[in-house]
């Protein structure tokens, strides 16, 4: 099975939704495209979008919503379409 791992480009806090009262960008099992936003990383009140970078199906998140994250830490795994 081909899988793609999404890694954090910077340190900060990972969020799965654009605001606390909004739904998550994507859920496990959803189909994603390269430019699908799967989350945000907050650093000093600045938000950076995290993209899937690969078309496929979101298999799992490796970090929880609101969790601190380091550069190079795995965020999610995407099952690549065959």
Domain range annotation of the chain: 3-80
Q: What are the beta bridge partners of residue 14? A: 41, 67
Asked: is 3-80 a CATH 2.40.50.100 domain? The reply is yes
Q: Give the pLDDT score at 36.
A: 97
Centre a 10 Å sphere on the Cβ of residue 46 and count the other Cβ atoms it contains. Answer: 10
Which segments of the chain have a pLDDT < 50?
Answer: none
């Amino acid at each position: 099975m081909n899988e793609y791992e999404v890694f954090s480009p910077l340190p900060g806090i990972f969020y799965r939704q654009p605001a606390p009262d909004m739904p998550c960008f994507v859920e496990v099992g959803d189909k994603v495209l390269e430019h699908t936003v799967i989350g945000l990383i907050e650093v000093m009140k600045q938000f950076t979008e995290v993209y899937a970078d690969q078309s496929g199906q979101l298999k799992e998140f490796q970090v929880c919503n609101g969790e601190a994250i380091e550069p190079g830490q795995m965020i999610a795994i995407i099952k690549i379409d065959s």
